[in-house]
Structure 1
């Protein structure tokens, strides 16, 4: 669950506390092209106010009208589908004839929203189970992936902490990288013990500045499978300290800026810190997709693109991930 969806749940609780009837909509399945992926949330209040989005505006007006009239989920959850026919897809503006299935759930104290938020705020990942026939909701710890499950009778969704990104180095590239990561809903920590790189970070929303040595910070943060780390200082005394600890964690992405030659040398150095061959295979360097990026914003974009691909399980062995023919020795200074 990302921060936008957490705000949707908090808003739902606020509306309920003020005496409103609230219906929660969850995208459970899509066919063809769809603006919003499974797991997207929207709440509809009894007077038509909404928060969140299920289709980027395609079907919201119809849903709002039907919920206000009491046609959908008046007492128990139910599923509804938009875009079954080409005519309906055109009517609602669904792109490329896409189809979206939504589960609508009337919220109450039995929806366990407060318990779910408490778990998220405690950095725990939970699976929420909703029985459509009864409206019964249950929560349990989750360690089996983040996939949404819906079989027509039971909806299971996974909710937990936001993604984390650690950036080693507080230079110009780091500012672009941090800004883009925040927009993608990462909680960003910038680590740089060098005082000359601290100016301005306190004013950047969604970013925390750490003055710890990089290895100490990585150990303290206990990086998990929702975590990524990118080292961009070009200084082995900082980058290598972070990498040697990050590569031993379940972090889904660990990368380092620099040319192929520099990264080959870095791998040799890391072996001296007892980093195994298996762990070294996790290191992405040169970091980012090979987009021909030159400027700091372009390089930051290539990095977050590769991070997104890694998180989504996209094959990263294709041409955009191949640096073997690159003549670039140093992409940018930190």
Structure 2
């Protein structure tokens, strides 16, 4: 929450009061500055509307509750279906009915009540060592990670990170709580080290020989390949999409919602429509290596090179509904200890 963006049209602040005028829109964002700055700058150039941004790692829903009707927030940008659902559950967002947004975003990626909308998708992939493992077969499934032959070979970030909670939620949706708990116990037994770090750190661990497999979001591979230091990590792994002979690869979203008391509602709607449209969707694909939700907008050449895959069609609403159960199971098996 401390980073200050110096881009010409974007002002990032801490949780100090935000300015409000007819030519501004205020954004609360879980998304990192480098991921959203290009889109917001382009929006300002096209519309003349200044974007003020507050960045945070957590606590945005609680902040909106505390601020209530005095909140300056207009739009909330976040990652993970569970965080979007939390905004609805805490009643800090409002329904939006826009023909533009509904036309751009398929129904499977938006709330049926119109309280949140996905803007990109990302696969929860499994990375494998090129040298020690090779490319995984199409028959590989998330359930395989609990098999005895993987003992001491898997790395992952904490299980209670939202990305992993959503994966566990999807597993509950397909297999039920009892079988998912057994799976979690098996995966924990196969970990090469205590869950730690982020998704990139797990790929680094593969490069360094600490493990042979890791769980991570697909777009991180692209971000690592364009980083001078991390490129060697990315070049040491294959990206694999589990479940191709079963229910498919778990897919999550980044998304947006309009704050309940948005003081700049008209500008907020303009920003949300922009983020769902061709310009922003192409930028998400090209700059962030995420998959656009708008039909007809192609993935980047790099992402396309990873191959097509079948995505799990379990509804995001159902995944969100299993969130509490997933956290409970992670606690019961002491996954992160």
Q: Which TM class, normalised by the smaller chain length?
A: under 0.3
Structure exhibiting the larger radius of gyration computed from Cα positions? 1
What TM-score, normalized by structure 2, do the two folds share? 0.24
**Would you tell me which structure has more helix in proportion to its own residues?**
2
Higher relative contact order (CA 8 A, sep 6+): 2
